[in-house]
Amino acid sequence: MNRIHSQTDWIARAREVLPAAGFGNFDAGIVIARGEGSHVWDEDSKQYIDYLIGSGPMLLGHGHPEVMEAVLEQLPKGMTFFANNARGIELAEAIVEAVPCCEQVRFVTSGGEADMYAIRLARAYTGKTKILKFEGGYHGMSAEAQMSLAPTRQLNFPTAVPDSAGIPQGVADEMLIAPFNDLDAVASLLAEHNDIAAIIAEPLQRIIPAQPGFLQGLRDLCDKHHVLLIFDEIVTGFRLAYGGAQERYGVTPDICTLGKIIGGGFPLAALGASTEIMAHFDKDIVGTEKWLMQLGTLSGNPIAAAAGLKTMEILRRPGQYDKLRALGQNLMDMQRAALNKAGIAHQICGDPTLFDLYFTPSAVSDYRSAKHRNPQDNVNWNASLRDQGIFKSPGKLYPSLSLSEADLERTGQAFNFAATRLAKHQEDAA
């Protein structure tokens, strides 16, 4: 008979075989055993309401029956082929129909891959080498993306600060860093440098909204200086709206990257652009010198494509985004009410489909202002929520369509508990 392992046992085993005892993604002190709908359970069978939802892809919740049916229909037909398959082609068609900037797409396996190839594609198309990114913007794990993501040293713009060991100085030399929501800074850099291939931006930077006119301002500046605009929509694609941030904000980039939701919980991502730009993936059109090589063992695999297609079909049904926004707004309102009642200074940032808070009385507009006045407040807040059965990351809360009224009621109670406890912590520390 197999021995039942406790969470403590699994954590001890992880320490032996995994650096820092984890996969590098999330708190290694919790081991998830299963998920169903809006809930997950750890290896000690403790139940949580899931506001992490796999870091975003499980917008319909875990194990949605229609998605499961689509996956189980595909499984006996084959899991991956390293070749074209009908489900992948259908998914590409659905993305092209939905996303304004996409006339063609190329599949990869992860969002980080998609962002890496988007940067390389911009360089191939323009013949220029420098990339402008925003301080605090997250674009995966490539060397370019690991520049000024979470710098502990505040150097003068546009100097890039590596966030990881092992990145050559030459990479930093090709990156220009600007503050988010600062069009004047971007305009100055574009006027000064004529070798910028692209600006890459999250339309909603982590949870920091673009100020009115900022995204359109980027579009206008890119047009003026013949620079490509890349929207990283790994998170926002099919979340902020069915057509992503491009639809929600009415600004169309030259290239976008997509992930998470388009794979329905399975490994799949994509980048898309006009047929002219995407021609760099076709050697017969652009020739050897301008061809961008790209391949991947699981790119466009039919299991992920089937799950993504069904997820997108469900999201197209009337009222889905109205429901998602109402759920998120309800959560934001409950959080605000609990913290206001407890007299705790805070800012709730983001969009009803994706948000969290900063414990500060000051407005948040960029990486340097997105700070907790006392970081321990955020640690205590999230620990209290975890104690009350709320599963979320320390800096994001993802609503899902699987949330029930009972989930919302329980979450509101958890917010009140956490706010009361945090007020006591602040009082004791004063």
Q: Identify any residues that bridge with 349 across adjacent strands, giving them in sequence order.
A: 356
Q: Identify any residues that bridge with 397 across adjacent strands, giving them in sequence order.
A: 355
Q: Checking DSSP bridges between strand 204-205 and strand 208-209, what pairing results, if any?
A: antiparallel
367 is an active site residue: no
351 is an active site residue: no
Phi-psi category of residue 276: left, alpha or beta, with phi > 0 → left and psi -120 to 50 → alpha: alpha
Q: Which of 232, 351, 366, 377 is catalytic?
A: 232
Are 44 and 389 contacting, i.e. CB atoms less than 8 angstroms apart? no
392 is an active site residue: no
Q: Which of 260, 366, 398, 407 is catalytic?
A: 260
Q: Identify any residues that bridge with 37 across adjacent strands, giving them in sequence order.
A: 62
Q: Which of 117, 125, 138, 367 is catalytic?
A: 138
Q: Which residue has the tokens 């991502």?
A: 269
- 412 contact partners, CB below 8 Å, separation of at least 6: 334, 338
The dihedral through the CA atoms of 22, 26, 31, 36 has a sign that is negative
Pairwise CA distance, residues 292 & 386, whole Å: 45
Residue positions annotated with a catalytic role:
138, 232, 260
